Chains A and B, each alone.
Chain A
Amino acid sequence: MTNSICIIETRSLALSSQVLQQILRSKKIDLLSLQIPGDGSVISFICGEYSEIKSAMESASAISKSSTSYFGQKIITKPDEKLFDLLQLKRSTPAKTEVIKADKKRISTKKTITIDSTPSKESVFDDFEPIKAGEAEIPSDSIEQNRSVRKSLPKTEVKKEKTDEAVHQPFKGRSDNPTIARLKKEALGIKENDNDLIKSVTNVNETENEGNGPADLEQLKKFNVHKLRRFARSFNGFPIKGREISRANREELLNYFKELI
């Protein structure tokens, strides 16, 4: 039963805490408030039974005598209800331990509420199970559906696929065309026999590269500039490359071949 309050004023926070430590050892006294107004004083309000407060204050005043700081105290028995409003104090406070427990509970409930209100990322994927390679079972319905979709594809799409292939490999069909091949040979000045010659020389060259054997110079002398350049480009380890080959004349190319062979 709280039938009286006590106001303690000190000029030191250390003294105030020491005094309160002594007073609050009694289980029948509760701390209502501790205020630091900012003018150098520390004011604390306690409540409890008059007899308990009286005895506690006697021990507190004994402590304060050892300190040089100011210590003042006043006990008010049976305070009016309006006094609590004036001092902005709580009318009744539960036991100290209960206050702390209640605070802890409040915090814990807040936590649970936040967890429930915002679903975690894990909860979203709870229903999904990872499928391992080789263990996945494809439903037969889905395969049938895919087949039906393929069948129902319009012909225009098939044409599109063909045109795409043509774009990626533009000269694939043309090389097979005999007229284009003939025109190409004419442009390069290659006859049927010359073609055979190139093949033979390239074969010799391949064998030379592989086995370091000699190439036939007489056959090379029969080539014109274009054929020699072409052959030089295909020759592995030829001393000049690219533009230099295209700029070199027939004699220069033959000289290079002589050096190599």
Chain B
Amino acid sequence: MKQNATGFLELNNLASALESADQMLKAANLDFIKQIKIGPSSFVLLIKGDAPSVEAALIAGEASAKRSGSFLVSQLVEDLDPAVEQYIFQEAVQ
């Protein structure tokens, strides 16, 4: 299936972020997952895949983050602009 969806899950705790990442990977078949630290206590989990998988993963990750009280934002973006994607993934690689 075409990979056209990008998911963002922001948390304020690294341990919770890792737990959520585990839950997301278990919930759906994802081909790409990265963690970006955007602030002193702000972590973003970036996932990529087909829209249903990303949505399922985000739901699982959000539930896990809410249980630990570290949830900030979750967002699903379909067909992300290539320029934005390039910048974001560049940051993710760094």
Contact B39 A41 (CB under 8 A): yes
Q: A13-B38, A14-B8 are in contact. Are A21 and B87 (CB under 8 A)?
A: no
Contact A20 B84 (CB under 8 A): yes
**Contacting residues, chain A, for B37 (C-beta < 8 A):** 38
Which residues of A line the B interface, CB within 8 A? 11-15, 17-18, 20-21, 24, 30-31, 33-34, 36, 38-42, 44, 67-69, 96-97, 99-100
| Distance between A31 CB and nearest chain B CB, rounded to angstroms | 4
Which residues of B line the A interface, CB within 8 A? 6, 8-10, 36-42, 44, 46, 72-75, 77, 80-84, 86-88, 91
Contact A96 B83 (CB under 8 A): yes
Q: Could you tell me the distance between the alpha carbons of A36 and B81 in the complex, rounded to whole angstroms? A: 18
**Contacting residues, chain A, for B72 (C-beta < 8 A):** 12, 69
Residue among A18, A31, A40, A96 making CB contact with B75, cutoff 8 Å: A18
Contact B36 A24 (CB under 8 A): no
Contact A17 B10 (CB under 8 A): no
Across the two chains, which residue of chain B brings its CB closest to A69? B73
Contact B10 A14 (CB under 8 A): yes
Contact B10 A31 (CB under 8 A): no
Q: A12-B72, A13-B8, A13-B88 are in contact. Are A21 and B77 (CB under 8 A)?
A: yes
